[in-house]
Structure 1
Amino acid sequence: MKNKESRRSFLKKSTAATAVSAIGLSSILSSCSSGKTNAELGLPPLLDRAPNGKKLKAGLVGCGHRGTGALLNFLSTGPGVEVGALADVFPDKVEACRDRLKKYKLEVPEENCFVGLDAYEKLIKSDVDVVLLVTPPHFRPQHFKTAVEHNKHVFMEKPVAVDPVGIRSVIATSKKAKVKGLNVVTGTQRRHQRDYIETYKQVTNGAIGEIVGAKAFWNQEHVWFRRRQEGWTDMEYMLRNWNNFCWLCGDHILDTHIHNIDIINWFTGKYPKSAVGYGGRHRRVTGDQYDFFSIDFDYGNGLFSHSMSRQIDNCANGTGEVIVGTKGYTNCKNTIYNLDGTVKWKYDYPKDKDGKSTNVVKIPPYIQEHIHLVTAIRTNQYVNEAERTALSNLTAIMGRESAYTGKKITWEEIMKSDMRLGPKEYHMGNVDMEFPIPVPGSAIKS
């Protein structure tokens, strides 16, 4: 497969594709109004720990730093949770995870450790109850589908896919999980963060009036990369350097900035109708991604959000969101302002022993999201976040493709697109792929 050819035809319509309009998503969006409970607003139960209940054994697919962290977060939810199995393409990743777990006196037997491109399938077929999917995002749709087919509850990190074909797969699997009563929580941790949740409730209850504009930003220094080592095949190099290849991670507008984009979708209660954007590459030394994106998302009826992300050293950095209304504005996290800039409301963080604000929520959101999953399983308070996260992922993909091509991309076009990134077959040898840097104006929209 040639990525160059895929890019040139990325918006060709698939006759088998399911069209989902940016309008008419009422079954997914919360209908928020004053006085509604957290459950009615689609908000998680904010418990300090999960309730007692049936023992739950977790299997981790993807034993890197974030994957091991997600497993430790799951194990921090309360009593009766344990690790059952580990899986990764690379044996050194599994061993590193086992060594890290040993520091917490957690042992995973050799027979419960699986290695290779099919390791995920072996783990899912084992006796685990919950599967944590934390591999490079390209593989998420297939791993999610397999987990649900084998009746496992799922935690999966964002992004949940890197292309429209993957997004539609995740949405379809999400519906199957619902039919089976399988709980699914995703790694959009801000939606499980207590200060964000309380700010959201204030906004839905009219604290800033009607929303008229927004911006989202994730600007930081460069992230990790790995140069190719002697003896590495194409596939091993790309997998070990996955954060720098679009087919594996979706570019950083998905990998990191998706958090901010998701917040704008959440607070506005909408998904954008279209995107016009640009970006470029100046500093990266590996992979095929951009260094920066600037996207204008059109939510309709005069509501726009400016969305920007950058990964370049020695620049002005910052991460966050701003939503402006007719009566004020908010940083979405902990403060609401009047239009003149004075503070209207602030989130009340826990106090330290001296009575000063800690500026930290009581339970870290990385643990809170797993508490939500375990609670849902044990109390039958069903949760399934896969579809809404997939649609926020699709928002980011729409912005990415607008920047790559220089074209205006509509929601309907990106949802129907037959674009699929990555090789047709997976093996650990060399791969017949090309990785040209996207040049705006040269790609063909349809």
Structure 2
Amino acid sequence: MANESNQDRREFLKASGLLTGGAILGSLPFTAKASGHPGYHFSVNDTIKVALIGCGGRGTGAAQQALSTKQNVQIVAMADAFRDRLDESYQNISNFLTAKNIKSPDGSPKLNVPEDHKFVGFDAYKQAMALADVVILATPPGFRPSHFEEAVRQSKQIFMEKPVATDAPGVRRVLAAAEEAKKKKLNVVVGLQRHYQPSYREMIKRIHDGAIGDIIGGQVYWVSGGVWHKPRKPNQSEMDYQMRNWYYFNWLCGDHINEQHIHNIDVANWVKKGYPVSCQGTGGRQVRNGKDDGEIFDHHIIDFTYADGSTINSQCRHYEGTYSRVDELFLGTKGKIEGMEKKTSSLVGYNGQPIYTYTAKTDISPYQIEHDELFDAIAKGQYKFADAEHGAKSTMTAIMGRMASYSGKTVKWEEALNSQIDLFPTTLAWDAMPKSLPDKDGYYQIAVPGKTIAV
């Protein structure tokens, strides 16, 4: 897929509906040096400077993938709220380059971040971005709207992780910045990597070509055992604690239906070539309900209804020691498909006969493919990727699902998108207080369906 032709890519994007509203495929009508346009290069030996914003596990992984492309990519700046996370990421990237024997064509260091290019704090991202052609945005999702806005303002090429916001005001900011990115012809790739996974591309192209008829229903799943905790330390500020445990607070994460299950919800939107008009569902805290579990639910079950009346059921939960499933099933008028995550997947008729079977021809990770294609486009001076709008709307779909499970109400798309509930703290400082605080016993307030106002 890293070597696929422009025409193949053009046909995929047309089929997938990723690009809308004037996104352009092809070369820019100018050279980087002649135009002064930032971030475009025309030689594999031309250095592409990258700033890593957010130095956790996913940011470190994204940096490693960027450095593993064929282009002469250098990490030249790093930014994080925490110095220890930055230092750990720097060491892990360095170890990775050594282990893989990855070097620049001209012998210069791939990890070229002197001490004065390491920035720490809530505003560190602005300084790091100013030093780069490309930015990797991988902080907790609550910061994504402001970081994306700044990257667009500075005219950077952008890779940003999913989800792209945690509330409706944040989604609206990303949508507005996405329009500016299109005007500036800035490549934007969002880390919904199934859009770059060969099995999903191949199978969904056939679904869109009508191989199993009209999609009339389906199920999408992310049911697993959950994630990490960081124990509270003596005299630790509330802001520091929540930042360290960002997964359990909605202003930072948006709940696991948003941070994790968005992958499967996004596939449903891709298959349906649109976004739900409404949803309803349920959720709560069955097994994960301690002081260290923050304010998020441990399960959500949502029915998303699309404009044609079809419904996709969504399930996500975090229960240790239970059945796990991470995939999607879709039913058409002529047949069904499931297992696109697998090396071999099939479109099957209701008579049991296979309509089409796909077997992966490469073991290249889709995480790598998304960087391969992005940096190839940048090196060639091409504007090919405008993922931000779609990423924002799939994020909004997940947030709408959270609104439905928290409130117990049917939620419509327009009212969800126009919600004025802003989860972000009024002030960002280590001694400032987030909006969600523990009670005298150390427990956070949890949404109660039927009582909580979530829209």
Fold equivalence (TM over 0.5): yes
The TM-score range, normalised by the shorter chain, is: 0.7 to 0.9
The aligned runs of 1:125-164 (5 Å cut-off) are 125-126=130-131, 128-164=132-168
Q: Paired residue for 2:67, among 60, 75, 78? A: 75
Q: CA deviation at 1:280?
A: 0.6
The answer (yes or no) to whether the contact 1:273–1:410 under 8 Å persists in 2 is yes
Q: Where does residue 377 of structure 2 map in the other structure?
A: 376
Q: Where does residue 358 of structure 2 map in the other structure?
A: 347
Aligned length: 398
Q: Call closer, same or farther: CA 1:54–1:181 in 2, change over 3 Å.
A: farther
Q: Call closer, same or farther: CA 1:41–1:444 in 2, change over 3 Å.
A: closer
1:54-88: CA deviation from partner (whole Å, max 9, x where unpaired) = 42111001111111001001111113111111110
Q: Call closer, same or farther: CA 1:51–1:209 in 2, change over 3 Å.
A: farther
Seq. identity, %:
40
Instruction: Confirm or deny that 1:260 pairs with 2:260.
Output: no
Q: CA deviation at 1:53?
A: 6.3
1:241-284: CA deviation from partner (whole Å, max 9, x where unpaired) = 00111111000001110000000100111210101011011222
How does the TM-score come out when normalised to structure 2?
0.84
Structure 1 counterpart of 2:317, one-letter code: R
The answer (yes or no) to whether the contact 2:145–2:165 under 8 Å persists in 1 is yes
Q: Paired residue for 1:441, among 439, 446, 450? A: 450
Instruction: Confirm or deny that 1:37 pairs with 2:11.
Output: yes
Instruction: Confirm or deny that 1:193 pairs with 2:200.
Output: no
Q: Where does residue 99 of structure 1 map in the other structure?
A: 91
> 3-state DSSP class of the match of 1:37?
helix
Q: CA deviation at 1:422?
A: 2.4
The aligned runs of 1:93-242 (5 Å cut-off) are 93-103=85-95, 104-105=97-98, 106-126=111-131, 128-242=132-246
- d(CA) in 1 for partners of 2:375 and 2:161? 16
Deviates more, 1:104-113 or 1:303-312: 104-113
- d(CA) in 1 for partners of 2:269 and 2:447? 27
Runs of at least 5 residues in structure 2 that lack an aligned partner in the other structure: 1-9, 20-24, 26-41, 99-110, 438-443
Instruction: Confirm or deny that 1:310 pairs with 2:317.
Output: yes
> 3-state DSSP class of the match of 2:14?
coil
- d(CA) in 2 for partners of 1:150 and 1:250? 27
The aligned runs of 1:284-323 (5 Å cut-off) are 284=288, 285=290, 286=292, 287-323=294-330
How does the TM-score come out when normalised to structure 1?
0.85
Q: CA deviation at 1:314?
A: 1.6
Instruction: Confirm or deny that 1:399 pairs with 2:401.
Output: yes
- d(CA) in 2 for partners of 1:88 and 1:445? 31
- d(CA) in 2 for partners of 1:95 and 1:159? 25
Q: Paired residue for 1:326, among 323, 326, 333? A: 333
The answer (yes or no) to whether the contact 1:323–1:332 under 8 Å persists in 2 is no
Q: CA deviation at 1:136?
A: 0.5
Q: Paired residue for 2:420, among 414, 418, 422? A: 418
Q: Where does residue 20 of structure 1 map in the other structure?
A: none
Runs of at least 5 residues in structure 1 that lack an aligned partner in the other structure: 1-35, 351-360
The answer (yes or no) to whether the contact 1:196–1:332 under 8 Å persists in 2 is no
- d(CA) in 2 for partners of 1:377 and 1:107? 20
Structure 1 counterpart of 2:322, one-letter code: C
Structure 1 counterpart of 2:300, one-letter code: F
> 3-state DSSP class of the match of 2:315?
strand
1:152-201: CA deviation from partner (whole Å, max 9, x where unpaired) = 11100001000000000000001101111111000000000001100011
Greater RCO structure (CA 8 Å; 6+ sep): 1
> 3-state DSSP class of the match of 1:218?
strand
